[in-house]
A and B are shown apart, each in its own frame.
Chain A
Amino acid sequence: MSNPKVVRILFVLLSIGASLLVTSVLVMVVGQSPLDVLDRIWQGAFRNSESTAGVFNFWIPLALCSMGLILTFTAGLWNIGAEGQVLAGAIAASWAARTFVLPNEIQIPLELLFAVAGGALWGLLIGILKTRFGVNEIFGGVGLNAIISVYSIYLIAGPWQPPEGGSAQSTQPFPDHALLHPMNETFPVSLIALILTAVAIVAVYLLLRGTRWGLQLKATGKNAKSALLLGVPTTRATLTALMAGGVLAGLAGAYRVLFTYDSLRPNVSGGIGYLGLLLVLLTGMSAIWTPIVAFIFAAILSGSTRLRVSLGLDSSLAGVLQGILVLSMLLFNGVRQRWEERRKSKTVTPSAVESQPTPSNAKAASGE
């Protein structure tokens, strides 16, 4: 038990167990069997190669968005606005898809470029509100999310409604030359998007590992005041982090409209921005663990889409399970830290106490 790595793993398992338990209780409250639900989710996610492709189709935007959130978290920002940046990217890509008539291999990069610009702009707005007007990024983000969401619904029901009349359900499907194409019939995932996601993961990892900019983000996130005094351009770091986060969120949005739905729909992001935030909290901003856990989350998400049809359960169960998992991980993390501290303070030698004779330390050392 003394090995800290073993303890760590033990606590992770404990929190996974606890969250499964709590979710099971909730499932039983609505009169279903947890094992049944688990089986359906598994079946929904990995039944065959097409359903596995469905998992990848959730993973791509979720991973993109989460990698962007790692950047903003590193800069100490609660970028709840990622959700809106996904939407901004989706709207910009949709606009390009509806406007240009070009060969597929030119049109796609152009659309992605628009998506990236849209996401970055929406991220920048939050940054300006924060750095210029002192509005906390959480409130700026929540506000801008709602505003762009209203705008997307307006577009779908208004100017972009299908010619046969608006049902407010979706725009007309985009023409084939404007869409990302699946790599083959049995595994319908876009290869371009898969490659882009892989590039994004590596890029974020490297950016944070070995660049000056990454270091500036870290310094700003750790202690913005000291960083500023040490000559780090913290305002620029904040703005660029939000823009970079917006770039990746925008790409995620483009994938949703150019591949997943082939059109713009209300709530096109499906909460991926919020989920990404939970995910990054869970992995503690690790650029390696985030894409891996994103895959698990994507499987839960994809597997639970048909719960309503099969068991009559609301698909929000996926969010419940994921939320409880993150919450219990944070709580158990706290328990572990306290537990390790207590162990340490028990083995403290008297001389160590004397060297720091503050009242709080003396009390802690005397065993509570």
Chain B
Amino acid sequence: MNEELINILNSIIANATPLVIAGLGETVSERSGVTNLSLDGSLQLSAMAGFAAAIASGNLLVGCVAAMIVGAVIALIVVVANIELRQDMVAIGFVLTLLCADIAQFLGQDLAGQRMQPMTKLNIPLLAEVPIIGPVFFQQPAIVYVSYILIFAIWWWMFHTRGGLAMRAVGERPETAFARGTSVNCLRYVYTFIGGALVGLGGAAYSLAIKPGWTTPPSMRGEGWIALAIVIFGGWHPFRVVLGAYLFAVLRALSSAIQRSPDIQIPLVLLNMLPWLLMIATLILVSSGAIDRLLSIMPRPLQKWTRNFLRSDPPAALGTRFEQD
């Protein structure tokens, strides 16, 4: 396999990482029934805060922790406003997404142009030596390995522990969960908090590793919306969400490769629109009747697999408030 291709794959994995982490975070909170619509603003503000903290302390880890705290606090505002103050989650999330983007730009005005050594690539002993897989997956910045761990940890927690069962129950049938003695709102607090912290870590992944530094306007503007769409595309399942994020990164890499090649002439304007066209197209695919029509023309053995793969049903109680007292 040629070296250039391996380099491209390596950068695809790296570029997808913030979306992977933020998408997983949103999956966690949405699975417990809370829509945190503030993602786009959260990512920007936590990226800014993480970068600022890392510069001030000279320590990347401090930056990551600061970003996680910012993300978690924003998520906490959403859930407190919803549970305690009975405000619409969408409204609060929406205001927060605009507000956080503005705060990030305002407070980050002096950070633009400042430099700091970003996370360096770290080779995992043994694994990094495996041909192809090693250079693609295991010669990456530390944050990428964190994302691998998160993928499996969240999947395992969600589907193989009692805690995960309770979390899903709270998002699907809060009344039933409550009747069985689960504290619905308490769990929603916990998982939205964790989800927000992960979104914050996603922000740090941009400013401290993947797109180091801070610019005005921020380079990750708009990515939060893509992450939200990926969660829908992923049908609220961690593996599929991650797959969505990687697919997205692959298509982006392809489009920029096409742009560089002299043989194919595709207008730049179309390439810049591509992520958004893709977002709309995937949402059409998973939310319209297109899947059912696609299924009906497929051979039977393939049907079940495709359905499981493409079906995207939100948690039944997503976005609804639960009266606990």
Residues of A within 8 A of B (CB): 26, 29-30, 78, 80, 129, 132-136, 138-140, 142-144, 146-147, 150-151, 153-154, 158, 274, 277-278, 281, 313-314, 316-317, 319-320, 323-324, 326-327, 330-331, 333-335, 337-338, 360, 363-364, 368
Contacts and interface: CB of A to CB of B under 8 A. Distances in A.
Contacts of A327: 77, 92, 95-96, 99
Interface in B90-119: 90-92, 94-96, 98-99, 101-103, 105-107, 109-110
Nearest to A363: B325
A324 B107 CA distance: 14
B86 to A, nearest CB: 6
Interface in B289-315: 289-290
Contacts of A330: 81, 87, 91-92, 95
Interface residues of B, number: 47
29 contacts: A26-B106, A26-B107, A29-B107, A129-B280, A133-B288, A134-B289, A135-B283, A135-B284, A135-B287, A142-B276, A143-B225, A143-B277, A146-B275, A147-B273, A147-B276, A150-B273, A158-B269, A274-B98, A278-B98, A313-B106, A316-B106, A317-B102, A319-B101, A323-B102, A327-B99, A330-B91, A334-B85, A338-B86, A360-B323
B225 A139 contact: yes
Contacts of A153: 272
A289 to B, nearest CB: 17
Given A80-B94, A154-B272, A320-B99, 13 more contacts: A30-B109, A139-B280, A142-B279, A143-B279, A150-B273, A158-B269, A314-B109, A319-B99, A319-B102, A327-B92, A331-B87, A360-B325, A364-B325
Contact of B84 (A29, A139, A320, A334): A334
A273 B123 CA distance: 47
Contacts of B279: 139, 142-143
B216 interface: yes
Contacts of A360: 323, 325
Given A133-B284, A360-B325, A30 B107 contact: yes
Interface in B233-280: 267-269, 272-273, 275-277, 279-280
Contacts of B68: none
A133 to B, nearest CB: 4
Contacts of A132: 288
Interface-central residue, A151, A154, A316, by most chain B CB under 10 Å: A316
Interface in B42-85: 77, 81, 84-85
Q: Which 10 pairs from chain A and chain B are nearest by CB? A: A334-B85, A323-B99, A319-B102, A154-B269, A134-B287, A316-B105, A133-B288, A314-B109, A146-B276, A143-B276
A144 B272 CA distance: 13
Given A78-B94, A143-B279, A331-B81, A316 B269 contact: no
Majority DSSP secondary structure for residues of B touching A: helix
B109 A26 contact: no
A306 to B, nearest CB: 15
A129 B279 CA distance: 12
A6 to B, nearest CB: 21
Contacts of A147: 273, 276-277
B80 to A, nearest CB: 8
Contact of B103 (A26, A138, A144, A364): A26
Contacts of B101: 319
A139 B90 contact: no
A281 B283 contact: no
The listed residue with most B CB atoms (<10 A of its CB), out of A138, A151, A337, is A138
Given A30-B106, A331-B87, A277 B325 contact: no
A327 to B, nearest CB: 5
Given A134-B287, A135-B283, A314-B109, A146 B95 contact: no
B222 interface: yes
A286 B81 CA distance: 22
B221 to A, nearest CB: 10
A319 B103 CA distance: 8
B228 interface: yes
Contacts of B144: none
Given A129-B284, A314-B106, A78 B90 contact: yes
Nearest to A142: B225
B229 interface: yes
A333 B287 CA distance: 35
B111 to A, nearest CB: 11
Given A323-B95, A327-B92, A317 B272 contact: no
Given A26-B106, A330-B81, A334-B87, A323 B98 contact: yes
Contact of A317 (B106, B277, B283): B106
Contacts of B87: 330-331, 333-334
A307 to B, nearest CB: 10
